[in-house]
A and B are shown apart, each in its own frame.
Chain A
Amino acid sequence: MRKIWNVIINEYIKIFAKISTKIMLICIVLLAVLWNVGMYFSSRNNSYSPESYELDFDARISEYSGVDETRADMYRFMKEIGIESLEDWRYNAINDITYELEDKQAPSGQEEKSTVSEWYKKAIRNNDYKEYIKLRMKYISGNNALTSEERGLKLGSLQYLLDHDIPPSYSDYRYQKLRNLETNKIDLARQEQMPLDSQDKKTITKLRNDIAIDEYTLERNIETYMVPDDGDNYFDMNGFLPVFSNSTMLIMVINVLIIIVAGSIISTEFSSGTIKFLLINPIKRWKILVAKYLAVLTVGIIMLVIYYVFNLLLAGIFFGFGDMGAPLLSVVNGKVHAGSSLLYVAWKYILGSLGVLTMATFAFAVSSLVRNSALAIGLGTFLLLSGYGAVFILASGLHWDWARYILFANTDINMIINNQTPFLGHTVGFALIVTAVYMVVFLLTAWDAFVRRDVK
């Protein structure tokens, strides 16, 4: 063991003394910088809002007057009370009542449309959202177009707003959640009323899970959280957590870098002739091979850790560290479990590292087999880059299902978890077994080539 340890130290000194390794480490840091800066600027572009357009009331009024008087009136009213932001609750309220009063059906049965409209307008003019909510409750409870369930849901969420002093504006996440809950619950009720054989089990489960999480977060006032393995379900796509979590997509680049390290670790000893000085030491060849392999694997892990740490720091700097403690919410059997989002992202990195370690093993075997660093690196990179494409063409284009046994169909565990592979019933367990078989083959190849073949 001591000998293997000493050889590992030697390998580390050699790897990190090379300029190419230093450049690689800089590349990893740059990659993290690029990812975060890119996401930061794209988030700023996305937050471009239709505000300037929507709030240019004079232009809107002249656009609609004569064409759609109701809408023109709506903008006149907005101009009159001086709405300055789309996040103002009154903006939503005016929109809502305009559309609802357009409805052909009588709003309440007792009062005339115009009267109801005046009441609403009075509440809005006074900036009194409680009065507005009460009016809406009154209006909804008299609306016979809604089912009793729908009425109950809508009234319930309005009551919640009243009880918790929440203005009905989308700038408040609780209002958003309440609206989500409403629509999800109505959808769910609709699904459940369908005959059993035409129910979509997947949709129902998803609706139930979403409802459970929304209720859980509303109850505990949790604004930011993560849901595992569901890329489009973050509260805010450009917050700290999604940017940090999605940085795993670029682990592919580390695959290429580790191929360069692993592809040269044996072959450069041959091409420089130093192998003759390495193997005349009182250390058996298999020990040197094991030490070199362990060095490659740990360098891969070091690269991942550097990438992880820099992404964590940069995402914090660009998007704020405030969300670092946000929980990870998952639903198991209808119950919500809270975990750590940071640990979850770390887990995603670990899953991503499986691909890195597999590619390292692959390039290591090629390096041992061909004894030529340019060929080992070239072949490794070529197979890595063309492998995913080839699998995709075979599976999606030619419908060859056996392509699932190709290594590259199984190295990206995160993709398999998110159901983004072209194969049906492609499970993580299957991928792990296939990858393990390949790893064993690679290692045996490396072993045979390094331990048994003559050094000429």
Chain B
Amino acid sequence: METILKVSNLKKNMGGRKIIDDVSFETYAGEVFGFLGPNGAGKTTTIKMIMGLLDIDEGHIEICGFDNVCHFEKAMECVGGIVENPETYSYLTGMQNLRQYKRMRKGVTEERLKEVVKLVGLENRIHEKVKRYSLGMRQRLGLAQAIMHRPKLIVMDEPTNGLDPSGIRELRDIFKRLAHEEGVAVLVSSHLLSEMELMCDRVGILANGRLIGVKPVKELIMEAQGNQRIVRFTVNDIESALGILEERKWEPFNVTENSFNIAIENDQQLGSIGIALAGADIWLLGIERQSHNLEDIFIEITGGGEQIA
């Protein structure tokens, strides 16, 4: 696999504090790499160093083989992205904003601009002044800005901010297509593990300026959960259901007036709970796997519970 971004032993101090402490990782062509961590972990700082906005105290960043300090222009030709919010020149139209970037980059034609505008779904509003855009539309414009010059590496800082659910899904599809079909390396930062799970191939977890681990996202979730799964049952008669559970020594928790959770070891157990309840003439109104639990795992891993906004 071709290495697109190589970060080695990155360090950054600000105001006497170690903001980034010895971070090293690589991203490869054709993958979506998630940068996961609570707010203040150093995600944006690392991204700003990759994009050349912050000086590097120690360590190196190579993009497509070019050091982004010594060969800044060569390195930046391979990158596109959004750092923090998608800021725009609000007194220009969307198209005028894009043309600003077109002039500063190599090989972007008017046709290419039309193509990316269509890709991000802004073709109806692109000639309007940006000050009338919603946050989601500005996010789309930022995305068009990031991909117009067909970069090898796309860096997106919290890209789903301000997008509605369908916008998030579209964005996810765009990233996946760019990575898996066009061989682009996509670096996405987020503090939401659930979002990462759907979008990323690999995840690096950052906490307090240190990279705790880099793993494929599925492996991470499996590992964190162990073999236990938590399942929520919704029933019509909670009293009888709790009685049956007590008989069989299954321990429910988070009990409400018509539902309860149970930690399940394996599939057989899930099956026997169902049969037991049905046998007692209790209606099973719903059985669902609990996903909010992932956030608990995330907090457990990063130890940064108090820092989550």
Interface residues of A (CB under 8 A from B): 3, 6-7, 9-10, 13-14, 17-19, 272-274, 276-277, 279-284, 452, 454-456
Contacts and interface: CB of A to CB of B under 8 A. Distances in A.
A13 B53 contact: no
Given A280-B83, A281-B104, A13 B76 contact: no
Given A10-B100, A273-B84, A455-B53, A280 B90 contact: no
Interface in B71-91: 72-77, 79-85, 87-91
A10 B101 CA distance: 9
Given A272-B89, A280-B52, 12 more contacts: A10-B100, A13-B100, A17-B91, A17-B96, A272-B90, A274-B88, A276-B83, A280-B53, A283-B76, A454-B53, A454-B54, A456-B54
A17 B52 contact: no
A251 B67 CA distance: 48
B87 A283 contact: no
B140 to A, nearest CB: 15
Interface of B: 48, 51-55, 72-77, 79-85, 87-92, 96, 99-101, 103-106, 142, 145
Contacts of B74: 282
Contacts of B81: 280
A13 B84 contact: no
Given A6-B103, A272-B90, A273-B87, A284 B73 contact: yes
Given A7-B104, A280-B79, A280-B81, A14 B92 contact: yes
A281 B87 contact: no
A276 B52 CA distance: 10
Given A19-B91, A272-B90, A279-B52, A9 B83 contact: no
Contacts, number: 81
B87 A274 contact: yes
Most chain A beta-carbon contacts within 10 A, residue among B73, B81, B85, B104: B104
A209 B84 CA distance: 70
Contacts of A19: 91
B180 to A, nearest CB: 25
Contacts of A17: 89, 91-92, 96
Contact of A282 (B76, B91, B145): B76
A18 B129 CA distance: 12
Given A273-B87, A276-B87, A10 B54 contact: no
A456 B55 CA distance: 11
Contacts of B101: 277, 281
Most chain A beta-carbon contacts within 10 A, residue among B53, B54, B89, B101: B89
Contacts of A282: 72-77, 104-106
